[in-house]
């Protein structure tokens, strides 16, 4: 079974509360659900103190119909 699953990837921006580093994490919607319990670790200092900024979706809406 391949290709039946459509995974929507989105870019999430985070800011580390420990060092102020802003970083992006690309992940699927299902993975994002888990972030409510466990935020991603900061790539700089490794602290799991990140908070989410605005989320930008990969799939852009068409500008015209
Ligand atoms: Zn950090």
Please give the average per-residue pLDDT across 26-53, as a whole number: 87
In this model, does residue 61 exceed pLDDT 90? no
pLDDT tens column, 14-36: 999 999 999 998 888 778 777 77
Long-range contacts of 36-45 (CB under 8 A, 24+ apart): 39/14, 40/14, 42/14, 42/16, 42/18, 44/16, 44/19, 45/16, 45/18, 45/19, 45/21
Q: Distance from the CA of 1 to the center of ligand 1, in angstroms? A: 40
Distance 58 CA to ligand 1 centre (A): 25
Confidence of residue 47 (pLDDT cuts 50, 70, 90): very high
What's the gap in Å between 21 CA and the centre of ligand 1? 5
Q: Which CATH class is domain 9-52?
A: mainly beta
Cα(30) to ligand 1 centroid in Å equals: 24
Domain residue extents for the chain? 9-52
Tell me the pTM. Answer: 0.66
């Amino acid at each position: 079974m391949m290709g039946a699953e459509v995974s929507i990837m989105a870019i999430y921006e985070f800011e580390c509360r420990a060092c102020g580093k802003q970083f992006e994490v690309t992940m699927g919607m299902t993975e994002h659900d888990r972030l409510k319990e466990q935020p991603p670790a900061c790539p700089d200092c490794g602290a799991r103190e990140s908070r989410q900024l605005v989320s930008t979706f990969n799939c852009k809406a068409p500008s015209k119909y």
